Structures are given as C-alpha cells and as structure tokens.
Chain A
Amino acid sequence: MSKPLIELRNLTKRYNNTTAVDGINLTIKENEFVTLLGPSGCGKTTTLRMIGGFEDPDEGEILFEGKLLNNVPAYKRNVNTVFQRYALFTHMNVYENVAFGLRVKKIPNSEIDRRVKKMLKMVDLEGFENRNVDSLSGGQQQRVAIARALVNEPKVLLLDEPLGALDLKLRKEMQIELLDMQRSLGITFIYVTHDQEEALTMSDTVVVMNKGVIQQVGTPEDIYNEPINRFVAGFIGESNIIEGVMLEDYKVSFDGMVFDCVDKGFAPNEPVDIVIRPEDIRIVVNPEEGMIKGRVTSVVFKGVHYEMIIESDTREYLVQRTKMFPEGSIVGMNVQPADIQVMKRGSTPCNEEEG
C-alpha cells in the first residue's frame, strides 16, 4: 500500500447549472480500499464515472500510474466497474456474462473456461453457469456482477453502492466477502456508499464528500474521532455539536464554562465548533460532581446501551451509557479533555453558501 495508483487533480464536472464535482484532489494508492462517502447528490457516482471513463471531466486531470487517463476511452482503461443495479447482460447466461470481458479480449477458450470457473467458485456460484441471470436472486446477481468485473484482473475495481439493494443480513455477509476478495486479490477498490457504517467497517481510507467537495480524507478512526468540521461530525455517527470559543491552546469555553482540551494552534478567542460523541459523556449521580448539570428528559433502550437526552441550562446533550438514569433525575456530566474535539469554523472546505 505505497505507490500512488490513481491521482485526481482539480477534477470538476458540471451539469447545466449544478456543479456535481467541484475541483477534487485525491491520491489513491495501490491495494487501498477507498470509500467515497457522502449524502445523496454529493457527487460520488459522478466521481466514479469519471474514473471509469463514462463521463468527461470539465476540468482537471485523472492520472493512472502517472499517465493521463482523461482521453483514454472506457474500454481501454484497466479499470472495471460493478454497477449499482448490476447491469447484467440478460440475454446471456451466468457463464457468458462472466466470460464477456475475456471473450472480447480474444483470450483462448481453454483459459477463459479456467478463469471463469475459478471466479465463479470464488463468488460461490459454482453450478450456476447455465442459469439465466434473470432467474437469480439479488445477492446472486450481485455476485455475478462482481465476478464479471474481477475475472478481468483489473488494477482497480470501482463499486457504486454495490450492496444498496440487498437486505441487511446479506449486506453484512457480502461486505465481509468483498473485503476478503480485495485482500486476497490485492486489487484497489474504490467504493461508493452513503452508509457511514459500511464505510467505517470496510475501508482503509474514507473520503467524505459534500456538495461536490471533499470534506475530509482519513482512516475510519481519524474520521470518527477527529472530524474536521461540523458536516463530517454530523454525518459520521451521532454527535453533540456545540459552538464555543478557543480561549488559548488547550483551553476551550462553551456553555459558559472553560474546559481543558488537547487541541492547539487556534487564534486567541477564535470561535470554533466542538464535537462530543454521545458515548464520551460520563454521567455521575451526584450533580455537584459533574462539570455540567442537567436533567434527564428522555430514555430510550437501544440494545447495547441506553440513549438519554439530558437537558442542561443551555442545551440538550445526547448521551449513550450502558447504565440507565431514570427520566426526571438530575445528574452531572463529565467529559475527558481528549474527548473534546475542537474544529475550525468557516475555514472548512465546505462550499455551503454556494449551493
């Protein structure tokens, strides 16, 4: 996972009056599992389609192993795609669907046979060779689509919400299978999803997008623990987002109190956004022992934990704890300095005012 394989430089795509992708820069390394994550309409599919060669960028460059890819037609790119709705060839059986790419490349029949069979075995579809693709279940069609792409041994596999149409259980199974395949074949995956949990579980690198602009690139841990701005914090997991002021290095004030934190490098008295994850707020029974005092106004059992809303003088905090505190009780809340994530305000790459 070292050499850069694909580089996107200032990549831009406009449709009539919307800017679908707005000057994104991204480097994707060999064998990396990269996920493009973002809300609907943020330009994930458009980015993927430009890499696949189905859409011409209006500006910017796509480099593949250092060489410009912009003017290479889709059928000459060493990239294969798993389409959102599978896009299988309904007039061919499973075998012919998978063999298509190899037949086009005029590979000898014996080798086609060997590779197709191996691939079908890998996606657990042995014995389905002669089945009509229309007669397969959604999960099976999905596997055919994956096999059809992977049999060509591409350097990069593009996947556009490949599991979107599957039910939760099947989706979890396929997530694991896809990860296994990616690891064992050593292929770079560029994966599109709007499911943040899927992105966090599967990826080496998560690229959070909003309105055609990359918000943050990082490991799942980075993205979750150190969201760079309000948008990322709000989109990834649940969080309490609070406006505050950075008094000086390691000192932030919000809700009329001063807290220790681990962030520095802000201007004195700079307005900031603060994110505190619901599971990072500790509750103490004695309100006097907490930095913040509040009253429990709602308790919901969520299986692993209780989700409580605690109202302080200034706001409502979302808190997740395994121990339940009854509605109406007055409690105290504490937050560790390391769990207070301070984010710059305004200077973020978010183009919200343009949209």
Chain B
Amino acid sequence: MQRRGRIAYPYTVWMVIFIVVPLFLILFYSFTEGDIHNIKDLRFSLNGYKKVLEPIYLKVIGDSFLLAGISTLICLIIGYPVAMIIANTDAKYRNLLLTLFIVPIWMNFLLRTYAWMSLLSPNGFLNRVLMWLGLPKLEIMPGKGAVLLGMVYNFLPFMILPIYTVLSKIDKSVIEAAHDLGGNNVVTFMRIILPLSVPGIVSGITMVFLPAVSTFVISGLLGGGKAPLIGDLIEQQFLSSRNWHFGSALSIILMIMILISMAIMSRIDKSEPEEERRKI
C-alpha cells in the first residue's frame, strides 16, 4: 500500500501544478482588480462579478445555455434512435456501424469545424449546389444556425456512445420477458427499455452539454462573432481585451453553473432506485 501511495506522488504533483494552482489563480483574479503584471497594484474588488451582471453579458450567458440546451436536445433526439439501431444490429456489423458514427471524433476538432465553414460559407459548397439547382442562397453562416449545426455534429458521438453502451448491456431476456407478459413494442420501450437507459441518457446529456456550453471554437468560427457565447467572451477577455479579472469571474460563474447542472443530472440518474429504496 505504501508503495502504491508513493507511485501516486508524481500524479499528485501534476494535479497540483496543472489543476489546483490555475484554479486558485482564476479565483484570485476574479476577486481583484488592477494591473495584472504588477502584483502590488492588485486589490480586492467585486467589479469582475458586477460586470457579469450587465445585461449584454447576461444575454450572452443565457444564449450559451439556450444554444447548448437546444443542441443537447437535438443530439438526444438523433442519438437515441441511432444508438438503438446500433445496439440491435447483428453482432457482426455492430462494430462497423458504431465506428462509422464515431470516426468523426478521430479527426481533428478544428479541421472538422473548418470543413463545415467551407461547406456553409456564403460562397461555399452548399450554396454553390443550391445556386446550380436554381434555388435561393442559404445564409446560415455566420449565425446561430451554423453554430447549432456545428455543435450537434461535433458532439453527437458523445451522446450516441453512452446510450449505446447502456442499451447493449440490457439483457435481451428482460425485453423478451416484457413481450412475454403482454407488452407490445411501444409498451416495452416506454416501460422497460427507456427507464433502463436513463443512466446512458444522463451521461450523454452531460457529455454533450458541458463542451457545448463552454465552446468558443465552434461559435467563433461558425458564428462569426454574430452570436458570441460565454466561451468566446472568456477567450476575448484573456487574449484581446486583456481583462483577466472579468474573464476569471466569467469562468467561475460558468463553472458554478455547470456544477449545478451536473448535480441536477446526477439527481435524475439516481432518482428511480432511490425512490424505491425510500419506500422500504
């Protein structure tokens, strides 16, 4: 045991340097103001947080959560049936099918987003095809529509995977038992398959919502600054506006909101068995 404890030391050091310290720095900057390069100039202040409450920034936060929420919902609506189809495919082809849906993850994230840019841009592939067909131009990029598309495309595999994993673990004989007891396909799905797949849905939602709500690459590239999200705002504060205090405050707020939504999700995940346990 001692040995194993010692082996963990480098890991602990790593964690402290790259996770704990940056976290405290951000917390520190969020509660101060002044010249960030001059430690003597820094003083306690809540201005970073006050700025977050300004209507334009509140709207950005609201937009981020709304967009992330919508894209999560779309991912769920597309991802669940896909996961179900994969899980019900013959074992021989199942891995192939799964790989087809997962392959996009193996490509570089930026590359994928650039690909969408060139597809959707005003003179991009899509519009040239439309023009060629004599149809009116589509102007979704830059804009929220394109951002939504980018989010769904990029994060869909993260919805499919956990749901597929849970579905493929459901014992076939449980489904047969439901049929045996008189349940047709709809009843069996609603009362057996869906409730049993809740853990997969919950982790799928978490795995899509979290990156979607904090992304800045997708909104930056496909939104073209027209629909800034909280991620863009934070990026701006650190890279161009150089207002680290405001950026840090935004990060902390985002983190708190994510923690709250994660807590809610894990509640949903556990609610069913807990209810039963409570009845005992």
A residues in contact (CB < 8 Å) with B: 52-54, 73-76, 79-81, 83-85, 87-93, 100-101, 104-105, 130-132, 148-149, 152
Contact = CB atoms under 8 A, between A and B. Distances in A.
Interface in B165-214: 171, 173-174, 176-184, 187, 191-192, 195-196
A81 B195 contact: no
B182 A101 contact: yes
Main secondary structure of the interface of B (DSSP, over half): helix
Nearest to A77: B180
Given A91-B272, A104-B187, A132 B179 contact: no
Which of B173, B184, B195, B276 is packed against the most chain A CB atoms within 10 Å? B276
Contact of B280 (A90, A92, A100, A130): A130
A54 B195 CA distance: 23
Contacts of B192: 89
Interface in B142-183: 171, 173-174, 176-183
Contacts of B276: 92-93, 130, 132
B181 A73 contact: no
Nearest to A131: B280
Contact of A148 (B171, B179, B181, B280): B181
Contacts of A75: 179-184
10 contacts: A73-B184, A74-B176, A75-B181, A81-B176, A83-B173, A89-B178, A100-B178, A100-B183, A104-B183, A132-B276
B172 to A, nearest CB: 9
A85 B172 CA distance: 11
Nearest to A54: B176
Interface string B91-133: 0000000000000000000000000000000000000000000
A87 B187 contact: no
Interface residues of B, number: 23
Interface of B: 171, 173-174, 176-184, 187, 191-192, 195-196, 272-273, 276-277, 279-280
Contact of A83 (B176, B182, B184, B272): B176
B196 A74 contact: no
Contacts of A90: 174, 196
A235 B184 CA distance: 41
Contacts of A80: 180-181
B182 A105 contact: yes
B183 A132 contact: no
B279 A152 contact: no
Contacts of B182: 75-76, 101, 104-105, 152
Contact of A87 (B176, B183, B196): B176
Given A87-B174, A104-B187, A148-B181, 10 more contacts: A74-B179, A74-B180, A75-B179, A75-B180, A75-B181, A75-B184, A83-B173, A87-B171, A89-B192, A93-B279
A121 B162 CA distance: 40
Contacts of A79: 180
Contacts of B272: 91
Contacts of B176: 52, 54, 74, 81, 83, 87
A130 B275 CA distance: 10
A285 to B, nearest CB: 58
Contacts of B178: 89, 100
A148 B178 CA distance: 11
B279 A100 contact: no
B179 to A, nearest CB: 4
A28 to B, nearest CB: 18
Contacts of B173: 83-85, 87
B179 A73 contact: yes
B181 A101 contact: yes
B196 A83 contact: no
